[in-house]
């Protein structure tokens, strides 16, 4: 076992609902460095890189938050059903 595993920063999965995680990402954007971040974020294999994965999850989080309680719009035109006519 490596000493880094014992004394290094803990691994964490990025959670956009966690305010601290969003704050860590904001610090990264401002400084362009993860040096001050107290955790290491895990990037799943299906994502290209960590920053892209965080950006996508934040976009999804904020879009769902903004449009979650909006009512569905009613159709503008209401058409009457045609009656069937015998010839």
What pLDDT digit, counting tens, does each position of 52-63 carry?
A: 999 999 999 999
Mean pLDDT of the chain: 85
76 assigned to some structural domain: no
Bridge partners (DSSP) of residue 13 are: 42
* Domain assignment of residue 74, yes or no: no
Q: How far is residue 61's CA from residue 87's CA, in Å, rounded to a whole number?
A: 58
Domain tally for the chain?
A: 1
User: What pLDDT sits at residue 1?
Assistant: 60
In a domain, 77, yes or no: no
Question: Which residues constitute the domain of residue 17?
Answer: 3-67
Distances (CA, A) of 12 to 28, 63, 83, 86: 16, 23, 63, 71
Q: Does a structural domain hold residue 8? A: yes
User: What's the rounded Cα separation, in Å, for the pair 85 and 39?
Assistant: 73
Whether residue 16 is contained in a domain is answered as yes
Structure tokens at 25: 């990402």
pLDDT of residue 22: 96
Whole-number pLDDT of residue 28: 95
Is 84 inside a domain boundary? no
H or E stretch at 51 = helix 50-67
* pLDDT of amino acid 25: 96
Integer Cα distance of 7 and 26 in angstroms: 25
* 14-30 tens-digit pLDDT: 999 999 999 999 999 99
Higher pLDDT, 66 or 72: 66
């Amino acid at each position: 076992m490596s000493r880094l595993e014992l004394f290094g920063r803990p691994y964490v999965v990025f959670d956009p609902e966690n305010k601290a995680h969003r704050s860590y990402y904001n610090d990264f954007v401002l400084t362009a460095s993860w040096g001050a971040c107290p955790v290491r974020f895990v990037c799943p294999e299906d994502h290209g890189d960590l920053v892209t994965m965080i950006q996508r999850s934040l976009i999804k989080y904020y879009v769902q938050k903004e449009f979650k309680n909006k009512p569905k719009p009613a159709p503008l035109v209401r058409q009457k059903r045609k009656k069937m006519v015998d010839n």
